[in-house]
């Protein structure tokens, strides 16, 4: 069964500092990979996704993520964090075609706090 691990439950960074949120997955092949953000009281918004090709993907709000097959990782990065980035971030995997169903499996999330 596929699974997603986000090792950091809570991260605090200063505004303007760089950010890296970790995500490791377990899956029989290369899955589809996603990062979502959830602001307090809000639904989930897709930040970026990786399906194939270039392993460095760009997303919205200045975020990027790098897929590393050898490490089964898909870490999210941002060079300079803004106070409005404070939220909870979820990494998710989805199965490839032929799997029969396409639900997402989510990690437990990483809560990001930003110090002004």
Partner 1 sequence: DSGVTQTPKHLITATGQRVTLRCSPRSGDLSVYWYQQSLDQGLQFLIQYYNGEERAKGNILERFSAQQFPDLHSELNLSSLELGDSALYFCASSEKGQGMDEQYFGPGTRLTVT
Interface mask (CB under 8 A) for partner 1, residues 20-39, using x and -?
------------x---x---
Contact status: 59 vs partner 1 (CB under 8 A): no
Which two three-digit tokens encode residue 52? 């194939």
**Residue 12 backbone dihedrals phi, psi, to 5 degrees:** -120, 130
Choose which of 40, 54, 103, 116 interacts with partner 1 (CB under 8 A).
Answer: 103
The per-residue b/e assignment along 10-26, b for 16 or more CB within 10 angstroms, e otherwise, is ebebeeeeebebbbbbe
Least distance from partner 1 to the Cβ atom of residue 46, Å: 6
How many amino acids of this chain bind partner 1 (CB under 8 A)? 24
CB of 56 to partner 1, least distance (A): 19
Q: What is the rounded distance in angstroms from the CA atom of residue 27 to the CA atom of residue 15?
A: 35
């Amino acid at each position: 069964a596929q699974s997603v691990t986000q090792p950091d439950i809570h991260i605090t960074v200063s505004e303007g500092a760089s950010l890296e949120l970790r995500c490791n997955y377990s899956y029989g092949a290369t899955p589809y990979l996603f990062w979502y953000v959830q602001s307090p009281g809000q639904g989930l918004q897709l930040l970026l996704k990786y399906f194939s090709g270039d392993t460095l993907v760009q997303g919205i709000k200045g975020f990027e993520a790098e897929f590393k097959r050898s490490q089964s990782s898909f870490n999210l990065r941002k060079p300079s964090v803004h106070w409005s980035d404070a939220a909870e971030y979820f990494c998710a995997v989805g199965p490839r075609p032929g799997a029969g169903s396409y639900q997402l499996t989510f990690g437990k999330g990483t809560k990001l706090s930003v110090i002004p």
